[in-house]
């Protein structure tokens, strides 16, 4: 209940309500982009400062290894489940969306830990960055595999039309498949948001305590207000995506609700095996249980045009994101601290 009374969460709820009543309240796209970049930069600095204080250790390496393992296992297992009741391209798109991570959900979890005075490792921001790209890579590889398995070279698109594709083709993109794949993989690994996060972490690591004191007004004092403003925008966007969920299969909606919790408990299991502390384990659960609504959908739109964008984007932002922000984050943290102390 305490989490629901946090100003950032209340602004998110307010944004959802404003969106549902079709208010003309709107955050300009440029402002929303600035807020997201600010939050990533501040988070990277916080992680770098913490890492400079604690140093590298076996615990850090174990956390990063668990993160990468989850980033590979979650989309692969998700695809095996989803292909039973979705078309192949839709199944791999949803699986990769849920196999990646939500930076805003992670930031909300960090704010929860700080608000409750619970310790965590700053290196978990690096774990978040490592978990974003593997799902994109797997989506591209699985999409090519599905295309090669298509019979006769005619694919039925979700929009109702057909398009002639040779094995491994790209729907008339006009570029060689290999070049297109390389371009998409390059974009996924050099995404500006990821680079900003990692760059800020390096700055924090190098500057140490002196940098922390100098940047406190920016990365500390402003953080909660900026987060609340951004959560208002997220609430408005989530409300806009809810209509996309009408008419979807109950099994798909069930996956969007139960999948994140299943993935989170996979993260908890790995955290227990690796001997991670409770704060890091909770953040690993949050990362495993989150779903991307920015990076992965942006790539899938071009890499897998056969998939229904309204499906994977609507599920991640319209259903899973609110569920995690309102209920998932406090639940994951409480479970992690109950199990690992």
From residue 190, give the alpha-carbon distance in Å to each of 231, 284, 292: 26, 23, 17
Q: How would residue 158 be classed by pLDDT, with cut points 50, 70 and 90?
A: very low
pLDDT number for residue 74: 95
pLDDT at 172 over 70: no
DSSP 243: G
Q: Report helix, strand or coil for 154.
A: strand
Among 145-159, 180-194, 273-287, 289-303, the range with the most confident prediction by mean pLDDT is 273-287
Query: Distance between CA 51 and CA 14 in Å, rounded?
Result: 35
| Three state DSSP letters for 304-324 | CCCCCHHHHHHHHHHHHHHHH
* pLDDT, mean of residues 274-289: 96
* pLDDT, mean of residues 271-292: 95
Query: Distance between CA 248 and CA 308 in Å, rounded?
Result: 11
Which tokens is 282 given?
A: 């909770």
pLDDT number for residue 151: 46
Residue 257's Cβ-side half-sphere holds a number of Cα atoms within 13 Å equal to: 7
pLDDT at 149 over 80: no
Predicted model pTM: 0.80
pLDDT number for residue 305: 86
pLDDT number for residue 60: 87
pLDDT by residue (tens digit) across 16-74? 999 999 999 999 989 988 988 898 888 888 888 888 877 778 888 899 999 999 999 99
Burial class (CB in 10 A: 0-12, 13-18, 19+), 256: buried
Query: Distance between CA 260 and CA 328 in Å, rounded?
Result: 9
Which tokens is 215 given?
A: 């940047």
More confident residue, 87 or 310: 87
From residue 78, give the alpha-carbon distance in Å to each of 84, 263, 307: 10, 9, 16
Beta strand extents in the chain (DSSP E only):
154-156, 162-164
Query: Distance between CA 21 and CA 270 in Å, rounded?
Result: 43
Which tokens is 159 given?
A: 């929009």
pLDDT by residue (tens digit) across 228-280? 998 899 899 889 888 888 888 899 999 999 999 999 999 999 999 999 999 99
Which tokens is 153 given?
A: 């070279």
66 and 267 in contact (C-beta within 8 Å)?
yes
Query: Distance between CA 258 and CA 267 in Å, rounded?
Result: 14
pLDDT number for residue 186: 65
- The residue among 88, 61, 103, 137 whose CA lies nearest residue 287 is 103
123 and 51 in contact (C-beta within 8 Å)?
yes
Does the domain made of 3-146+175-340 have the CATH classification 3.40.50.300?
A: no
pLDDT at 294 over 90: no
Q: Report helix, strand or coil for 79.
A: helix
């Amino acid at each position: 209940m305490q989490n629901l009374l946090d100003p950032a969460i209340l602004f998110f709820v307010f944004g959802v309500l404003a969106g549902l009543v079709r208010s003309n309240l709107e955050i300009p796209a440029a402002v929303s982009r600035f807020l997201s970049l600010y939050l990533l930069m501040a988070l990277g600095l916080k992680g770098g400062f913490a890492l400079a204080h604690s140093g590298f250790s076996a615990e850090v390496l174990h956390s990063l290894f668990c993160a990468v393992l989850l980033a590979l296992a979650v989309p692969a297992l998700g695809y095996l489940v989803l292909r039973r009741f979705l078309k192949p391209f839709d199944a791999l798109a949803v699986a990769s969306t849920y196999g990646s991570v939500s930076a805003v959900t992670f930031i909300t979890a960090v704010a929860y830990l700080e608000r409750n005075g619970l310790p965590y490792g700053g290196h978990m921001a690096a774990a978040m960055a490592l978990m974003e790209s593997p799902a994109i890579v797997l989506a591209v590889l699985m999409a090519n595999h599905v295309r090669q398995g298509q019979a006769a070279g005619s694919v039925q698109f979700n929009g109702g039309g057909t398009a002639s594709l040779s094995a491994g083709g790209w729907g008339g993109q006009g570029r060689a498949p290999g070049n297109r794949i390389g371009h998409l993989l390059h974009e996924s690994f050099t995404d500006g948001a990821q680079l900003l996060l990692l760059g800020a972490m390096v700055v924090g690591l190098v500057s140490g305590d002196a940098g922390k004191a100098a940047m406190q007004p920016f990365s500390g004092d402003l953080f909660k207000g900026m987060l609340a403003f951004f959560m208002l925008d997220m609430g408005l966007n989530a409300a806009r995506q809810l209509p996309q969920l009408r008419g979807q299969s109950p099994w798909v909606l069930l996956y969007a609700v139960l999948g994140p919790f299943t993935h989170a408990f996979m993260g908890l299991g790995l955290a227990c095996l690796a001997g991670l502390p409770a704060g890091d384990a909770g953040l690993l659960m949050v990362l495993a249980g989150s779903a991307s609504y920015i990076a992965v959908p942006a790539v899938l739109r071009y890499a897998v045009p056969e998939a229904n964008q309204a499906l994977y984007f609507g599920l991640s932002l319209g259903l899973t994101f609110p569920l995690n922000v309102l209920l998932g984050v406090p639940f994951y943290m409480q479970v992690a601290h109950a199990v690992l102390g």
